[in-house]
Chain A
Amino acid sequence: MSTLSETAPGPKPSETGRTLSTPVPAGPAALPVEADEVAFDIKNFSLWYGPRQALMDVTIKLPARKVTAIIGPSGCGKSTFLRALNRMHELTPGTRLEGSLQHFGRDLYGPGIEAVAIRRRIGMVFQKSNPFPTMSIAENVLVGLRLNGVRDKAVLQERLEQSLQMAALWDEVKDTLNRPGTSLSGGQQQRLCIARSLAVQPETLLMDEPCSALDPIATAKIEELIQTLRSSYTVVIVTHNMQQAARCSDRTAFFYMGKLIEFGDTRKIFTNPSNAQTEAYVSGRFG
């Protein structure tokens, strides 16, 4: 099994079945597409911020090319869990972890593995849209590619259009690509951020409450977008909004007090959960 650091930043494995991928040589570890292929295989994963344990012994298998929603009350560790998936938590000083975390069979925390290489494959969209204020719409989309050394104008142009199309923003901005990214509305900015993440062609997209700062119409657009992303991407979305989880996810994981309480089919979690705490939470009795 190859490790991330060996393959990045060269051709990516497991790009089969991806609509967005430009022709690249097949990677050494190209994986076949299966019905229940596992994107993240996480075993006995615990995480501490200093003395405080934020995640306790989480074992879970997140499916590839499906939308997994992470729900739970504030402070239950769901954002921490999400940020551990592409090692963004390392920006917080004093974190420590145990257990194993694999992404398409590759260890994310093995010796010598670089967080930078991981984040190229596992993108992230944040709660608050954050287009770079000094850059135009086009520059925002392409910044990840440019800073990773892509200079070919034709490739950049193609990725620009593809990414904005995927993010369902192309029609709205195609005539104003040189205007500042911050000139867009809140919902458009968030879709711009999604396009920016897609432009570097990740395998997986992590979304940390991507709609919590948006109005219902903008939220509906993003949810629709998540539905279309599902065919080519593995999406993991943290949400406070249980209707949203029910509407746009295939699987749902319920976290409480740093523990994974229940994980399963979204429909089952919301209609017939096996755990009493899950039932209390999804029916709105606490949280």
Chain B
Amino acid sequence: MSAPSPYLPTPGFARWRKAKSTAVTAVLVLCALAVIAPLFLVIYFLLVQGWSSLDLNFFTQLPKPTGESGGGMANAIVGTIELLAMASVVGVPLGILGGIYLAEYGSDRGNDWLRFAADVLNGVPSIVWGMVIYLVLVVPFKGFSAYAGGVALGLMMVPLVMRTTEEVLILVPQSYREAALALGVARWKVIMVIVVRTALKGIATGVIVALARIAGETAPLLFTALGNNFWNHNLKEPIAALPLQIFAYAISPYDDWHRQAWAGALVLMALILALNITVRVLSRDRRKSS
């Protein structure tokens, strides 16, 4: 038998090294679990507490007056959808056009400032948005309104949509712009038809991410949309929203309302989850096609 290779470690050293490796791997796995554990905790508690209160009434009925049991959050669900739609009307065009400006026009220096401003805006606490819109759209019109809530949420979308639009437009290869320009096509058409269309999925992804971000916002609605126990028939009037209804019910002293607040939270979470899954599907398609 030949002498052991000098490259083979002694058995004791190998064992020690293996133990170290196992220990470090275990720590990393625990950290990874700790990262995703809260998500499962949230979903677990929502299901346990909220599932039993979810019935058809929850989706079809208005809240019952204090003291009566039953009722639902139909108006808040519809209200949230209306608010998201109004927010999109404000935030999507502004955000996308701003992103186009950042990616395709503007000077380097000016754009740096614009990006900085967008990032600061992105970090403005949502309650501050609520207060500002209160001063601008609630006080002068002498009343809380669905409009004010939609504008507050829409403005919160702008910096997010703008930055993601910019990022995906920059990813569109310069060669497509050159090819279209070389056909004698005007620059704005090249940008709107060729560049934006190529990046459309990425832009849509950014919009949905922004929607998912604002769908659960409560603070900006407190001073603007206010909340409403009935159907909103006029956007100049206050409107119900899921987060507002959850807030109102959760701080109430009634068990029945607490259960409904859990159910509302479950529905809101499901909505946000659905938006996020849409984003995943959209971005998977994009990776596949490119």
A binding-site residues for B, Cβ under 8 Å: 9, 86, 88, 91, 116-121, 123-124, 126, 128, 130, 132-134, 143-144, 147-148, 193, 196-197, 200
Contacts and interface: CB of A to CB of B under 8 A. Distances in A.
28 contacts: A86-B182, A88-B178, A88-B182, A91-B174, A116-B181, A116-B184, A117-B184, A121-B184, A123-B182, A123-B184, A124-B178, A126-B179, A128-B175, A130-B173, A130-B175, A130-B176, A130-B178, A130-B179, A134-B197, A143-B180, A144-B180, A144-B184, A147-B183, A147-B186, A147-B193, A197-B183, A200-B183, A200-B184
Interface residues of B, number: 24
A117 B184 CA distance: 6
Nearest to A206: B182
- What 8 A-B pairs have minimum CB-CB distances, sorted nearest first? A120-B184, A144-B183, A124-B182, A119-B184, A130-B175, A147-B185, A130-B179, A134-B197
A119 B182 contact: yes
Contacts of B173: 130
Contacts of A121: 184
Interface in B184-200: 184-187, 189-190, 193-194, 197-198, 200
A132 B184 contact: no
A148 B289 CA distance: 28
A116 B176 contact: no
A193 B176 CA distance: 11
Given A123-B183, A133-B176, 11 more contacts: A88-B178, A91-B177, A116-B187, A118-B184, A119-B182, A119-B184, A133-B198, A147-B193, A148-B185, A200-B183, A200-B184
Contacts of A88: 178, 181-182
Contact of A144 (B175, B185, B200, B290): B185
A132 B179 contact: yes
Contacts of B183: 119-120, 123, 143-144, 147-148, 196-197, 200
A148 B198 CA distance: 19
A126 B181 CA distance: 12
Contacts of B186: 116, 147
A149 to B, nearest CB: 10
Given A116-B186, A119-B184, A147-B189, A193 B198 contact: no
B186 to A, nearest CB: 5
Interface in B83-139: none
Nearest to B192: A147
A202 to B, nearest CB: 8
Contacts of A197: 182-183
A119 B198 contact: no
B257 to A, nearest CB: 50
B14 to A, nearest CB: 51
A123 B185 CA distance: 11
A130 B175 CA distance: 7
A86 B290 CA distance: 30
B5 to A, nearest CB: 48
Q: Which of A91, A130, A197 has the most CB of B within 10 A?
A: A130
Interface in B261-290: 289-290
B176 to A, nearest CB: 6
B182 A132 contact: no
